[in-house]
Amino acid sequence: QSLLTQPPSVSGAPGQRVTISCTGSSSNIGAGYDVHWYQQLPGTAPKLLIYGNSNRPSGVPDRFSGSKSGTSASLAITGLQAEDEADYYCQSYDSSLSGSVFGGGTKLTVL
């Protein structure tokens, strides 16, 4: 059981907006540590999608956005495309572990 909780799956039709939540605690997100998001396409390595809660690396479409509030964070994807079908992971630092922690991952299905 990860210290960061994500829904196992979300789905949406092409063009729609979906959000993926990441719920932590006072030892990670709630302590003020940044949240990062990764996208893992089937059979490939994870790719950095959002860093520092809401920043996009160069090359990531602005359809992807991140936010953080209290002990939770969210990833929003607008204008869903078939190519967005992937697993998404949130990540932060946890002071009780003195290390990195990933969420359990959310599988996005584009209907």
Partner 1 sequence: EVQLVESGGGLVQPGGSLRLSCAVSGFTFSSYWMHWVRQAPGKGLVWVSRINSDGSSTSYADSVKGRFTISRDNAKNTLYLQMNSLRAEDTAVYYCARVPDYGDYVLLDYWGQGILVTVSS
Positions touching partner 1 (CB under 8 A) are: 2, 33-34, 36, 38, 40, 44-48, 51-52, 57, 87, 89, 91-93, 97-105
Q: How far is the CB of 24 from partner 1 (least distance, A)?
A: 13
Distances in Å between the Cα of 6 and the Cα atoms of 3, 56, 61, 67, 93 are 10, 20, 22, 15, 16
**Min CB(13)–partner 1 separation in Å:** 26
- Closest separation in Å from C-beta 68 to partner 1: 13
Taking phi over 0 as left and psi of -120 to 50 as alpha, with beta for the rest, 54 belongs to alpha
C-beta of 23 vs 91, nearer to partner 1: 91
Rounded distance between C-alpha atoms, residue 88 and residue 7, angstroms: 10
